[in-house]
Amino acid sequence: MNGLIKGKEVHFDDEYLHVKLEDGRIISTPMEWYKPLKEASISELKNYKLICMNTGIEWESIDYHLNIESMLELSLEKVA
């Protein structure tokens, strides 16, 4: 993929990680795909920050980083 896919907000529910992008789209992927996130507490999950010009997400307390473009690519691979 080319271009910067930038996140705006991150939300969670029991099953999915949802990332709202700056362009209004929402990427939702199963929490099962991210073992460190699945095992984290709600307070740890809420303690995220957008990094790298909003192209990544960091959860410092659990030492986990997620590239938003990779998240989108993985979701497309699972569909194909």
Give the strands of the sheet with 16-21, arranged side by side.
Answer: 7-12, 16-21, 26-30
- Output the DSSP codes for 3-60: S---EEEEEE-SSEEEEEETTS-EEEEEGGG-HHHHHS-HHHHH--EEETTTTEEEEG
* Fold adopted by 7-79: NE0471 N-terminal domain-like (3.30.2020)
pLDDT in tens, 9-66: 999 999 999 999 999 999 999 999 999 999 999 999 999 999 999 999 999 999 999 9
Identify the band that residue 74 occupies on the pLDDT scale cut at 50, 70 and 90.
Answer: confident
- Which pTM value belongs to this model? 0.88
The pLDDT, as a whole number, for residue 79 is 64
